[in-house]
Amino acid sequence: MPNESGLPSAGDGGTGADAAAGARPPRAWVKVARAAEVPPGGKRLVEVGARRILLAHVGGEWRAVKAVCPHRGGDLARGALAGGTIYCPDHAWGFDLTSGACDRGAEWRVAVYPVRVEGDDVLVGI
C-alpha cells in the first residue's frame, strides 16, 4: 500500500531495493546526512522539503520513517529508540522502523522511506 509520498509503506532493508514486489522506485534520492553524523544506535531528524524524516542507524542497517506520529502529531525524532522501534515521546506508541507498523494497530502506521549509502553519504528515496 503506498504512503503519502507514493512509495510503498514497506522499507528496503537499507539497501536501496524495495521490499514490496513490483513497487515503483523512488523518484529521487536525496542526500540527508553523512554516515559519521549518525553513529550506530543513533537517530537524527532530517528534512527533505516539507517532509520531516527520522533517520536511524540500527543493527547495522539504515532506516527512515516519517517523523510525525499519526496519533496526535508527536515528534518521533524526540522519541526513544529501542532496537528497530521508535517510541512516540507523547504517548509511548511504538513504530517499527522497517515496516512503519504501530504497536497500537494497523491503522496507525508511519510512512517508510528507502535508504542507501554511497561512500559516506546517506540518501533517502522520495
Q: What share of the chain in percent tops pLDDT 70?
A: 81
Which has the higher per-residue pLDDT, 56 or 3?
56
Specify whether the CB–CB gap between 53 and 45 falls below 8 A: yes
CATH superfamily of 29-125: Rieske [2Fe-2S] iron-sulphur domain (2.102.10.10)
Mapped onto helix, strand or coil, the DSSP state of residue 82 is strand
Mean pLDDT computed over 10-15: 38
Q: In the predicted model, what is the mean pLDDT of residues 85-95? A: 97
Give the angle subtended at the CA of 90 by the CAs of 88 and 95, to the nearest 5°: 15
Is the distance from CB of 118 to CB of 110 less than 8 angstroms? no
Q: What is the pLDDT of residue 28?
A: 95
Q: What average pLDDT score do residues 96-117 get?
A: 97
Transcribe 4-66 into DSSP letters: TTSSBSS--TTSS--SSTTPPPPS-EEEEEEGGGS-TTEEEEEEETTEEEEEEEETTEEEEEE
**What's the pLDDT band for 25 if we cut at 50, 70, 90?**
confident
Of 13-22, 44-53, 60-69, least confident by mean pLDDT is: 13-22
Q: Note the pTM of the prediction, 2 decimals.
A: 0.80
Q: In this predicted structure, what is the pLDDT of residue 117?
A: 98
Closest CA to 34 of 126, 125, 123: 123
d(CA 51, CA 49): 6
Inform me whether the pLDDT recorded for 19 exceeds 50: no
- Mean pLDDT along residues 53-61: 97
